[in-house]
Amino acid sequence: MQHTDLYINGSWHQTPDRFDVINPATEEVLASVASATTTDADAALDAAEAAMADWAARTPRQRSEVLRRAWELMTARLEDFARLITLENGKARVDAMGEATYAAEFFRWFAEEAVRADGLITHAPSSGARIIVQHKPAGLAVLITPWNYPAAMGTRKIAPALAAGCGVVIKPASETPLTMLALMPLLEEAGVPPGLVNVLPSRRAGALVNHMLHDPRVRVVSFTGSTGVGRTLLKGAADQVLKPAMELGGNAPLIVFDDADMDTAIEGTMLAKMRNLGEACTAANRIYVHEAIAPEYTRRLSEAMAALKVGDGSDPSVDVGPLVNAATRDKVAEFVADAVAKGAKVECGGVAPEGKGYFYPPTVLSNVPENADGVHDEIFGPVAALQTFIDTEDVIRRANDTEYGLVAYVFSGDFKRGLQVCERLDYGMVGLNRGLVSDPAAPFGGTKQSGLGREGGHEGMLEFMETQYISASW
């Protein structure tokens, strides 16, 4: 059964105001979903506060076992989640299965981390007092997630929050609220107590979230989405000095040196560019290829891109589904038109098909000029924008010349040179001879205007904890 109402205190609540969720492949209405108000937000925070008192007092092992059970249950239902992700987001089944698996893994990883909130005890060097350092649950957390990963961006926040002992209210993206609602019965079955996790879809995101950020019980705001909205939330978080975790936009450079293994570089580029059909903050946005290998690389990448099958993501033979909505598709088309007008060459794709669905074909552009809009903004679609370079210093400078710093990719057959370049890239994450960096066991996050804080790894749970130091004599 598809849930479409608000999830507060372990039960479903209808609202008079509702909004439609659209299937991007058919443009048909999939569901009419309840839209939360600030009154609903108060009820959700009341429930989370009450549930958290007991949850935070449970032993780490007890919290861990609930999270472990959530991983087992989700892993047994990956197909169901993948089907729903495809329906509301559009991504192809293979991408949706990848996301569902990744999403479930956060429950397993944080089940393992829940029992490792290690502290410290030591002697103060001068006074001889004991320094005791421990981590405690930070308090209620408001979680806000984007549409591009309807399951994983939620579990990447819920799992560490629960591991830390916090209660949460989550506001999923309006394009894709169904997956997060579908997760709630699974969490109940896993043993998450009523009220600990609440889900509030809303078509008034700004008012709803701002109201919660000003509730004195809230201590953490964890957001994944655009840098613009992130800035607004940071301003809202300032009033109560909330702990912010911000996973924001990217503008990932991908650098291919002339000594790179060509098969590895093409395979890595396809992953970095086409995972989630380019609708990813980690998507390779600017591809810099050494001039000596540019003709072969361009030909091989264009062949691989042109071979991908575009269509309704529900068809398992399809590689590339539609973009999430008309605005996203039109923005991708504008990036291509702008680059071509400024001198770029279309190697493949480049024309959106007629008919229903927000489709855009896998596209390769060569000779993309530095002043093209897509070099400075996230393309967020299946367009590979190629430039060339000769000099290593020059390509490092160009790669770093952005206000973003989420992820970069480097392909080189010389491991020493590869690592040296990685270290000089001002990015929170770098893939060396790999087109995929996301891993629940690693700290995901960016520098500069790509965000604050890290999700996953050992760092992820600490975003939901406060450090307490006790100075003791005995």
Residue (of 431, 444, 443, 374) closest to 402 by Cα position: 374
d(CA 96, CA 106): 16
**With respect to ligand NAP, which residue has the nearer C-beta, 221 or 293?**
221
Amino acid at 172: P
User: Is residue 83 within 8 Å of residue 419, measured between CB atoms?
Assistant: no
d(CA 165, CA 58): 8
* Residue 247 designated active-site: yes
Annotated catalytic residue: which of 88, 99, 281, 455?
281
d(CA 168, CA 153): 14
204-210-215 Cα angle (round to 5): 130
CB 438, min distance to ligand NAP, A: 9
**With respect to ligand NAP, which residue has the nearer C-beta, 175 or 347?**
175
d(CA 291, CA 303): 19
Amino acid at 161: A
CB 169, min distance to ligand NAP, A: 12
**With respect to ligand NAP, which residue has the nearer C-beta, 96 or 265?**
96
d(CA 419, CA 188): 45
Residue with tokens 């395979």: 267
CB 448, min distance to ligand NAP, A: 12
CB 145, min distance to ligand NAP, A: 6
Amino acid at 342: K
Annotated catalytic residue: which of 113, 175, 247, 463?
247
Say how many C-beta atoms besides its own lie within 10 A of residue 241's C-beta.
Answer: 8
**With respect to ligand NAP, which residue has the nearer C-beta, 55 or 444?**
444
Binding site for ligand NAP (CB under 6 A): 144-149, 153, 171, 173-174, 205-206, 209, 224-226, 229, 232-233, 247-250, 281, 378, 406, 451
* Residue 281 designated active-site: yes
**With respect to ligand NAP, which residue has the nearer C-beta, 137 or 451?**
451
Catalytic residues: 247, 281
